[in-house]
Amino acid sequence: MYVLGIETSCDETAASIVKDGRRVLSNIVASSISLHKQYGGVVPEIASRKQLETIVEVAEAALKKARVKLSQLGLISVTDGPGLLGSLLVGISFAKSVSFSRNIPLVGINHLHSHIYSAFLNRKNIQLPFVALVVSGGHTSLFYVKDFHRIEIMGLTLDDACGEAFDKVAKILKLGYPGGPLIEKLAKGGDSKKIRFGCSKTKKPLNFSFSGVKTAVLYYVQRQPARYADVAASFQDTVIDVLIEKSFLACRMKKANRLVLGGGVLANNRLRQEFSRAAQKDKVSIYLPEREFCTDNAAMVAGLGYQLFKNGNLSSLDLGVNLN
Ligand code: KG4
Ligand code: ZN
């Protein structure tokens, strides 16, 4: 079955065609990030206006690249939240109108759950159940996945999301936006052992808190002349250590030996390597999405939509934004 995925939860306008929930035939992502750079973050009104202008073009490009016609689609899958309200509405309205006019079934998808699914794309299978970590610009969450309509939350961030912390530290170090890739690049020339930062402890062991480490970086560079490459490397390793510690703790708590990772921060090579190393030590199998599917995209939305649809999930034309 061919599924059209639509994703407009943040700055991006994305459309993709995925066959039978796995094979990605096209994955088009039009980002408006260059328009937001001067403001140091995504401006919702600019994002949704751009999405309104580009959504038709992007969906057409996804169909064309996949060599699939509208009449061949078996399902339309669209992100219905969480994310920016106006942006989500553009994607949902578009998906609903195509569904209605062409009589194609529709399913609304949770954005975080679709990030978990990204590791399944272009891969044969991952056995259920497993523990999943999603690290993005808006969320840092640990899940226990029995199957895709029974996803249990195990931990979440109490303040900044992990990607948000990268973005804010990049701002402190005057690197630009988005900060994740810039920190990673700068950290390559740095010594992560030079400075010791720490993440705040949380009452519940599987929750996260990143605002303390961000403030520690700010005070550190204000107080003394510092080599920014060392600051970036130390910050990056502090965050990676915490993510690893809590993810493997979650695996032990659930006696799970499979860990699935997803979200924009997974584009970070150092994080990928360190997780792989830790997994070998703990005898846990880890599953990382291809880098193309880490940051926001519609292939993960189409893929998860297929699985839910197979399980009998469908949305009506009443589908609205779901911000929870
Ligand atoms: O999943 P995503 O594309 O969007 C959200 O759903 O939020 O994640 C975007 C986040 C941004 O905060 C960005 O700085 C971060 O992912 N990111 C990275 C890297 N590439 C993107 N963080 C660390 N290292 C990277 N290489
Ligand atoms: Zn995302």
Express as a percent the part of the chain with pLDDT over 70.
100
pLDDT above 90 for 324:
no
Please give the angle made by the CA atoms of 23, 26 and 28, to the nearest 5 degrees. Answer: 135
Q: Which atom of ligand 1 is nearest to the CA of 268?
A: 26
Distance 140 CA to ligand 1 centre (A): 11
Q: Which atom of ligand 1 is nearest to the CA of 163?
A: 12
Confidence (pTM): 0.95
Residue 274 near residue 301 (C-beta atoms within 8 A): no
CA 209 – CA 148 distance, rounded (Å)? 27
Q: What pLDDT, on a 0 to 100 scale, did the predictor assign at position 173?
A: 96
Please report which confidence band the pLDDT of residue 297 belongs to, taking 50, 70 and 90 as the band edges.
very high
Which residue, by CA, sits nearest to atom 7 of ligand 1?
137
pLDDT above 90 for 178:
no
pLDDT tens-digit series, residues 49-82: 999 999 999 999 999 999 999 999 999 999 999 9
Which residue, by CA, sits nearest to atom 1 of ligand 1?
264
pLDDT above 90 for 109:
yes
pLDDT above 90 for 17:
yes
324 burial type by CB count under 10 A (0-12 exposed, 13-18 middle, 19+ buried): exposed
Q: Ligand 1 in contact with 262 (CB < 6 A)?
A: no
Amino acid present at 276: S
State which of 10, 37, 136, 274 you would mutate to test the pocket of ligand 1, scoring each by most atoms of that ligand within 8 A of its C-beta: 136
N-term to C-term CA, the chain: 29
State which of 173, 295, 300 you would mutate to test the pocket of ligand 1, scoring each by most atoms of that ligand within 8 A of its C-beta: 295
Distance 287 CA to ligand 1 centre (A): 18
Distance 264 CA to ligand 2 centre (A): 6
Q: What pLDDT, on a 0 to 100 scale, did the predictor assign at position 37?
A: 82
Of all ligands present, the nearest one to the C-alpha of 236 is 1
CA 214 → CA 142, 155, 169, 272, distances in Å?
21, 20, 6, 22
At 242, list the tokens. Answer: 């915490």
Q: Ligand 1 in contact with 268 (CB < 6 A)?
A: yes
